[in-house]
Chain A
Amino acid sequence: MKRQFDADLDDLRGRLLRMGSLCEEMVHYAVKVVVERDESHVDAVQGWEREVNSMHIEIDEIALRLIALHQPAAGDLRLLAAAIKINSDLERIGDQAVNIAETGVYLCKEPKIKLGDIPRMVEVAAGMLKDSLDAFARGDTELAREVIKRDDEEDRLKSQTFNELVHLMQRDASSIQRGMDIILIARNLERIADHATNIAEDVIFMVIGKDIRHSVEKI
């Protein structure tokens, strides 16, 4: 029997995925500002952020209304719990993208600086975000586990970038402001990967009801 509630849950799922796509776009164009030194993208990123923020509120409202009206249980309840958490993670990803773009605007006005492993970090974080959303859309726990495994790689790249930039700043005091900005961007990307990891953990909980957060043997 197809319930109206199923249609409501499908609609909620669709809204989250649309919000996720916007966040992917935001990350993609925010990084362009830094890597391609093209500050023209910053307006688009900021515009999408406003959209993401309004979706953040809207999705929470819908999820709370569905909980109040339908008093869901089991898989339906887990989906709604996951949706509320994923919603927050996506909103935070949007914020990180704005931070990257705005830092990038400053860097565009300054002489070029070494980016360290930033391009590779972008690749890993964006891939994790995309795959965590695919895992959510398909209820694919294997893909979610893959996403979680990749977080260590992002952490390693961030540390590598930190070290590289610290050495550069030690050698050249004029690079300190720009070097700090690159470190901040590395930190932003690492946080995006962390949020993608959270989404993947929520997908696993949503599908099989197992909470693997803070677990030693996550995978």
Chain B
Amino acid sequence: MTTTMDMRPMPLPAETTASKDAAEAKIAMSVRNLKAGYAGGAPVLKGVNLEIREKTVTAIIGPSGCGKSTLIRCLNRMHEAIPGATADGEILIGGRNALELDPVVLRRAVGMVFQRPNPFPTMSIAQNVAAGLTLNGVHDRAILAEAVEKSLRRAALWDEVKDKLDAPGVGLSGGQQQRLCIARALAVEPAILLLDEPCSALDPIATGRIEELLIQIKEQLTVVIVTHNMQQAARVSEYTVFMLMGEMVEYGLTRKMFTQPVDKRTEDYITGRFG
């Protein structure tokens, strides 16, 4: 499933906007004692604490089942879309607990791109990008056209599709479709973009383009990416989170974690000794 969340243009809650001017406004999202699980199962997240820095790329790595996808899905409350799923703790965005916000409001500020690209099948390329805006009542053609071009340029797709904006989105290659999904998410100008293994279905060239794109868009927004590919984490992110069995084992600068990890479990994982 590929989804971009509710997309009516909307700024983050006022506290965040105000704090952007403050010298200490470097934290986009604070996760505090986050516990999550699924109906009848053992806890998947066992009290995670984490601070996501603004306008950086943070990679979440860890072996299968460590809770990294659950964690990223909690960040815009996709997790609770699963029947019986539970989440407890705090996810502070602009001083407000995301777990207590209206999920619809939250998801306008925190966009998400999933593993498999999935443009809306009945829509053209342009309609896909504009979907969030039109769903939220923007119908002015000039505004929509401008937003489509801007978003496709930000997603590094414009040059490849500018002459076929009315063609079906599903007619694009897998890599292009994924960038289309990123453009769709960017169109509503989220403050944070979550990506759950966005390159796992792509070839190395398409993966390289997405990685370059992530490095470029972090100038404008905060990116959190779950990846199984450790070299990808090393290439695109400034910060890395290593998760294991529902706990955050290590969090720090990527360049340090990939050369001098502090925890032996991190060393063992990133050097391929387990996982």
Contact = CB atoms under 8 A, between A and B. Distances in A.
**A and B pair up:** yes
Interface of A: 1, 3, 5, 70-78, 208-209
B213 interface: no
Interface in B222-275: 230-231, 234, 258-261, 266-267, 270-274
Given A73-B230, A73-B234, A3 B261 contact: no
26 contacts: A1-B273, A1-B274, A3-B272, A3-B273, A5-B272, A70-B272, A71-B230, A72-B271, A73-B230, A73-B234, A73-B258, A73-B259, A73-B271, A74-B258, A74-B259, A74-B260, A74-B267, A74-B271, A75-B267, A75-B271, A76-B271, A77-B259, A78-B259, A78-B260, A208-B260, A209-B259
Interface in B74-94: none
Nearest to A76: B271
Contact of B270 (A1, A73, A209): A73
Q: Which 4 pairs show the lowest CB-CB distances between chains A and B?
A: A209-B260, A73-B270, A73-B258, A74-B267
Interface of B: 230-231, 234, 258-261, 266-267, 270-274
A72 B270 CA distance: 8
A180 to B, nearest CB: 45
Nearest to A5: B272
Nearest to B274: A1
A28 B259 CA distance: 37
Nearest to A75: B267
A202 to B, nearest CB: 14
Nearest to B272: A3
A73 B270 CA distance: 6
Contacts of B260: 74, 78, 208-209
Contacts of A78: 259-260
Nearest to B258: A73
A7 B266 CA distance: 21
Contacts of A72: 271
Nearest to B275: A1
B240 to A, nearest CB: 11
B270 A74 contact: yes
A1 B274 CA distance: 7
From A70, A78, A209, name the one whose CB has the most chain B CB atoms within 10 angstroms.
A209
